Structure 1
């Protein structure tokens, strides 16, 4: 018995099209294909692609904030933000400075990733967090998950300041995290000033080296 293949109709009901796209919400490659090839699905695909964004250099940073400045409602789509540290550096100190104070505009942000890209080839002595960045985190109401990947911090205190700046943090993930110096650090002096309700901690590759003072 032969079957005749009947092609799909040229268009579906908008509600059905949106359900198709929603089913692909975790498949970035499929969403990109939909956004590039199907005009009817482009807007819905773009909204899902904005759920998780990565800022790898200063040009991307400026482009993202320019987009959100022109279309403020799109900033509400972002749930996860990954920032490569090497995009903003200090030549005088050799330190990577994490400084994106406009993170406060991402009101629905739930997951924050701070990482050093292996592909950058940039070697920093350590990473520090700009005071304006910590201030922006303190007033952010919804960040629940923090991921730190391939970072070298100057001391344990820098990590405690970052954690204390996130009032609703419930999950912490650290991979290949190292410290230059842990000598003479009192964690409680920074960390206990503010209660952080962390329920889950995932650590992989935590190291430190003590630097002798002259």
Structure 2
């Protein structure tokens, strides 16, 4: 079959949708079948098949190299490279930056590293990864690093890095506060380090050292997911104070239980106090300290997301759990202190405030939430957009509302 009976643009849209499939095996099988359908489908299928390449086992690197050496133009189709070993933390050396691979992947834009032990790589391996000098997006997750300097130098090695996502990483060696400060100070002397890093996403930083400042001062969009009391919050606020071009902040909080803390089990009084402490109070303190740190005159959008967690019940089934209502959250998160911050200084020019809430009661609609926010914030000169997701127990997938606007 040489040609499809459907318009080519429709066929290509279908093939692109198949290329967005996250399940690796299903995506490859579907795109291979599309490539064999007809000649007109082959270019788009091949593009989607090679646009995102993922290596799960070391031998796949050599097999892929054989393919692009036999047909060199195929290498230019690779825009994303994912290194996520199948046997997490239990394999030997995984040749991520094979010299032959680096030489041929000239158009690589996104590099995803996850699920392995950085200590299994040779020393200074970040220098080899830096040979992927066209990479603008880096995702680093679930990796065991020897020391904070390893992840910092990995980031520094990519001169065109524009976006960094970092989370669920561990460190086998604990660095002192002085070591972390020296590492951040070193970046100031490296003119090329993080000069183009504009988007920073951080999540699950429970044991992350205070080296966020080492990622530069040019951040424009900051995304923070599920922060708790174990985050390097002081370092984060100090970094935000240096972001002179900061434009947007996304804060996503887990509010269904008090934040975990590393406390001795014998300290019963302290443990009890932490468990009983209202999680909204902790979140309010974090939001307040972060907002007070903002110095940028370019702030446009702040998004606050309040979400429950998946708690395991007595029957062993995990489900969304709410330990208090969202109105209680609003009382704490938009009190007088936050209101004063948002009507003075850089935030007085804020254009948009987004509040995402998840509610398990259908008693209050989005209009009610807008009214509550208006009462809490007063006559602020900005647009407020409220998103409320309703989870009804009798509906497995939940009931969702559309965004409602309120223009001050």
TM class, shorter-length? 0.7 to 0.9
Instruction: List runs of 5+ in structure 1 lacking aligned partners.
Output: 1-8, 91-95, 118-123
Look up the match of 2:146: 154
Q: Any residues of structure 2 matched to 1:41-120 within 5 Å, and which?
A: 41-85=41-85, 89-90=92-93, 98-101=96-99, 102-116=101-115
- How far residue 167 of structure 1 moved from its aligned partner, in angstroms, is 0.2
Matched, 1:178 2:178: no
Distance 1:10 1:104 in 2: 35
Q: What SS does the corresponding residue of 1:114 show, helix, strand or coil?
A: strand
From 18, 21, 30, the equivalent of 1:27 is 18
8 Å Cα contact 1:31/1:49 also seen in 2: yes
Distance 1:23 1:114 in 2: 29
Q: Give me the TM-score of the superposition, normalised by structure 2.
A: 0.40
Look up the match of 1:208: 207
Q: What SS does the corresponding residue of 1:151 show, helix, strand or coil?
A: strand
Distance 1:33 1:11 in 2: 15
Alpha-carbon RMSD across the aligned residues, in angstroms, is 3.2
Instruction: List runs of 5+ in structure 2 lacking aligned partners.
Output: 20-26, 210-408
Aligned residues: 188
Q: Which is bigger in relative contact order (C-alpha 8 A, separation at least 6)?
A: 1
Deviations 1:16-57 (A, max 9, x none): 537622553242345344124x03223431222100010111
Cα distance change on mapping 1:73 and 1:178 into 2, 3 Å: same
Distance 1:10 1:81 in 2: 32
Cα distance change on mapping 1:134 and 1:152 into 2, 3 Å: closer
Look up the match of 2:133: 141
Distance 1:135 1:26 in 2: 36
Cα distance change on mapping 1:140 and 1:201 into 2, 3 Å: same
